[in-house]
Amino acid sequence: MKAGSNLEKVLAAGHFAVTAECGPPRGADAEIVRKKAAFVKGNVDACNVTDNQTSVVRMSSLAGCLLVKECGTEPLIQMVVRDRNRIALQSDLLGASAMGVKNLLCLSGDHQKFGEDPQAKNVFDIDSIQLIHMVKTMRDEGIFPSGKKLEGEPKFYIGCAVNPFADPYEIRVPRFKLKVDAGADFVQTQCIYNMAKFKQYMEDAKKMGLHDRVKILAGVTPLKSAGMAKFMKKFVAGMDIPDDVIKRIADEPKEKQAAKGIEMCVEQIQELKEIEGVAGVHVMAIEWEEKLGKIVGDAGLLPRPHVD
């Protein structure tokens, strides 16, 4: 065991894993996090807590992780390099590990120009691949990047993110390999709607043996409406939603589109379960956490396994 987290144990035992996420609030109201955590509890093996996603200020990921943990679900802290230099990153890593957070997702972070404070200065002292390597060195060798010895190594199951649909496609799998080489233990993908393209991505990844070196969790996001699908296709960078997917939900009356979106998400999960190399799913029910239990349950993934 790298960190002994529940997520790591579930994947190591060969179970099809389920993760989800809770976006912290745009304020200091802890009850918002607790309410989301209640919907997640029992339905996942670990829950991501996002780190100022879309460059919008929110409660810190570490605070959200502690609240999720308090509510009985294993947290997964997200950490972006946009806002911290390597000193602050190392400090936050030590603090998170000390507080019992065992899962980590290393990310670049959305550029601040996309958020509400475009005048803010970004940092990007290191990139996400260097962050992965830094955490692995601290965990496995017990030293800081400076070479100084740690007084207690941080224990993290290290994750990264990949987007099979971003351009240019030719660099997607080689960049994935760089993250695995740096020390990633698992990966969560961008949400998948173009299943044919994702299957090609998996074939290319398997040619490099990446499915044997890292646990791949395929990302899914249930569509609430045809309007949501059209918005994401047009305005969300790196999103690939085929027209036939949009048509399928648009053909439903508006009052039935949410139910159809859940049905389509469940179908996606069932299809992903049959793809060699896919070790689990990451369900991003954006501000729709109350539907998580239905999605996971209808996909035949409940109850979640208990692994000692």
Residue 306, in any domain of the structure:
no
pLDDT digits 0-9 by tens, 41-59: 999 999 999 999 999 999 9
Choose among 133, 150, 23: nearest CA to 98: 150
Per-residue confidence (pLDDT) for residue 222, from 0 to 100: 97
Structural domain of residue 65, as residue ranges? Answer: 6-298
Residue 148, in any domain of the structure:
yes
Residue 278, in any domain of the structure:
yes
Residue 303, in any domain of the structure:
no
Residue 243, in any domain of the structure:
yes
Query: Strand pairing partners for 107?
Result: 80
Per-residue confidence (pLDDT) for residue 110, from 0 to 100: 87
Instruction: Please give the sequence-ordered ranges of beta strands (E in DSSP) within the chain, or none if there are none.
Output: 17-22, 46-49, 75-80, 103-107, 157-162, 186-191, 215-220, 278-283
Residue 107, in any domain of the structure:
yes
* DSSP conformation class of 274: T
User: Rounded to a whole number, what is the distance in angstroms from the first to the last CA of the chain?
Assistant: 12
CATH number of the structural domain spanning residue 169: 3.20.20.220
Per-residue confidence (pLDDT) for residue 211, from 0 to 100: 97
pLDDT digits 0-9 by tens, 269-296: 999 999 999 999 999 998 899 999 999 9
Residue 148: how many CA atoms within 13 Å on its side-chain side? 4
Which residues of the chain carry a pLDDT beneath 70? none
Q: Return the SS3 of 57.
A: coil
Q: Are 71 and 41 in contact, with CB atoms under 8 Å apart?
A: yes
Q: How many domains does the chain have?
A: 1
Residue 90, in any domain of the structure:
yes
Give the C-alpha separation, 292 to 35, whole Å. Answer: 13
Query: Strand pairing partners for 78?
Result: 105
Residue 1, in any domain of the structure:
no
Length of the chain equals 308
Residues 6+ apart with CB under 8 A from 261: 222, 223, 224, 225, 228, 249
Choose among 6, 15, 3: nearest CA to 217: 15
Give the C-alpha separation, 205 to 217, whole Å. Answer: 13
With vertex at residue 147, the alpha carbon angle to CA 143 and CA 151, rounded to the nearest 5 degrees, is 35
Per-residue confidence (pLDDT) for residue 114, from 0 to 100: 86
Q: Are 90 and 143 in contact, with CB atoms under 8 Å apart?
A: no
